[in-house]
Amino acid sequence: MNPIEILRPDLLVLVLIPVVVLLFRNRFWRQSVEHPLADRFAGFGFQKPPFWLYIPRLIEWVTILLLVGVFIQPVLPIGQRQTTVRALDLVLCIDLSASMQKSVEGPSETVSAFSDPGLTRLEAVKQVALDFIRSRPQDRIGLVVFSANAYLVNPLTTDHQVLSEYIEMVDGNTLIGEGLTSVGEGLRLSNDLLSFFGVERDREGKAIIVFTDAEHNYGRKPDRPLERARQNKTRVYFVGVGVPIESVLGSLTGAVRETGGDYFNAMHVEELREVSRQIDRLERNPVQITEYLRNQALSLPLLIAASFLLMVGCALRAFPSFYVTG
């Protein structure tokens, strides 16, 4: 059984108060008995009142000690337990280049007709990403955005409420002025994020999901980050938003599949949702996690006991047979 811990040991000094009072009473006050039966006790040779006359006073001291126990806030550490869950470490890597801000109003050879009037590709991706996060409550998920450069928005976390708030804040003004598409930078930072947060190199259950609508045209080439992902057993999924992903990836399709991932075309919103559902059905890797349980506070039981004893003491003092002065 775990020992009791005290959160406010500095308040243990309060124990000295009843001790000082007791010493003061014994040193300077002489006890006397005012009791209807005192003469009878004296006749039988009693010099002091019987012990049961001190029960109310004893209750008072115990009550004071219990109240001190309330103030020092004792807790009973329950401990920790290990559980096995199926979870992934995921990084959502979202393209914020200029073309993602375009409003899709009608079909063409290269641009899809997203169903909602005026809905941009980025807004469609945000809707799907939020649904995806809600479907993965046990996963650690991070967020990276990129255009000409890549930026970390949120590290790997299980606090999906905060992550969702960040996704909602991302818009066309987040990386305004960059405009180009550096898929390689987005992949590089996503790999770094998984490594930085201690994801074991050989552990499976890691994935990067890239949402983009344009071909890599700036900065670091994506082939080396893809090779690094393959070596680290990180699956990479490319989702083409409004454009055939084959035209975006070109010669990289083989490298993407070598990571264990795949590429998908999402020509409208419903297809984008279906793609997210397919990725959601990824095999979830069993992971053993340590769950730290909350300490059990003992202040409330002590307060209840002190209140009960206080009422008992007051009730006993209402009877003359239990009244001792001095």
**Strand-pair partners of 154:** 143
Q: 214 vs 93, 128, 263, 297, 308, CA distance in Å?
A: 14, 19, 14, 56, 73
Which pLDDT tens digit goes with each residue over 128-176?
Answer: 899 888 888 888 899 999 888 888 999 998 889 999 999 998 887 777 7
Which pLDDT tens digit goes with each residue over 24-74?
Answer: 765 655 454 455 555 555 555 555 666 667 777 788 888 888 888 888 888
DSSP state of 109: S
pLDDT score at 213: 79
Torsion of CA 66, 70, 75, 76, to 10 degrees: 30
The answer to whether 262 and 246 have CB atoms below 8 angstroms apart is no
pLDDT score at 314: 81
pLDDT score at 165: 92
Which pLDDT tens digit goes with each residue over 209-218?
Answer: 988 876 667 7
Percent of the chain topping pLDDT 70: 67
Between β-strands 262-266 and 74-76, what pairing exists: parallel, antiparallel or unpaired? Answer: unpaired
Task: Give the residue among 212, 201, 280, 279 at the shortest CA–CA distance from 234.
Answer: 201
Q: 177 vs 93, 96, 148, CA distance in Å?
A: 19, 11, 9
Tell me the pLDDT of the chain averaged across its residues. Answer: 75
Task: Give the residue among 21, 25, 46, 39 at the shortest CA–CA distance from 325.
Answer: 25
Q: How far is residue 7 CA from its own chain's centroid?
A: 22
The pTM is what? 0.59
The answer to whether 162 and 154 have CB atoms below 8 angstroms apart is yes
Q: How many whole angstroms separate alpha carbon 259 and alpha carbon 243?
A: 22
Q: How many whole angstroms separate alpha carbon 64 and alpha carbon 68?
A: 6
CATH H-level, domain 82-289: superfamily: von Willebrand factor, type A domain (3.40.50.410)
pLDDT score at 177: 62
The answer to whether 226 and 262 have CB atoms below 8 angstroms apart is no
DSSP state of 243: S
The answer to whether 42 and 35 have CB atoms below 8 angstroms apart is no
**Residues of each domain in the chain carrying CATH 3.40.50.410:** 82-289
pLDDT score at 114: 47
pLDDT score at 69: 84
